[in-house]
Amino acid sequence: YLDMQLFQQIINELNASGFNPEIVENGYIADEYIAERNGYLLLTVPYDTGWHVTVNSMPVDVMRGMNTFIAVPVQAGTNQIICQYKVPGLQLGVIMTVIGLFSLVIAEKKRR
């Protein structure tokens, strides 16, 4: 059976120590998190290689947590966490598009 009193106690503890970011907008998440010990903070944000995370202004490697979410390494104490999403391949795609358009314009001018 499920001990509802114990379950509610654990849920309350998790909610009290959770990460509820103040800023969440268009691929940008930022706030402070106070950790009791060194470890990982599991964010319920889908894992993707486009996430770039800094903790206390230092870039960190994002790990896959529970095979689905982002796990961010944190140190004991206060951690300033900033997550930014950048679409993988976007910069290369823009460069290739500009080169393609430039080549098309030059080919058209040579044809005339």
> What is the distance between the alpha carbons of residues 99 and 108, in angstroms, rounded to a whole number?
14
When pLDDT is averaged across residues 43-56 and rounded to a whole number, the result is 93
- Which one, of 46, 47, 51, lies nearest residue 82 by Cα? 51
pLDDT, tens only, 5-32: 887 887 777 666 677 787 888 899 999 9
pTM of the model: 0.70
In the structure, what pLDDT confidence band is assigned to residue 81 with cuts at 50, 70 and 90? very high
pLDDT at 104: 93
pLDDT at 94: 94
Percent of the chain with pLDDT over 90: 56
**What is the CA angle 71-62-15, rounded to 5?**
25
Q: Which two tokens stand for residue 98?
A: 């500009």
- Which one, of 82, 76, 34, 37, lies nearest residue 56 by Cα? 82
Q: What is the DSSP letter of 106?
A: H
Q: Which two tokens stand for residue 108?
A: 């058209």
Residue with the larger pLDDT of the pair 57 and 44: 57
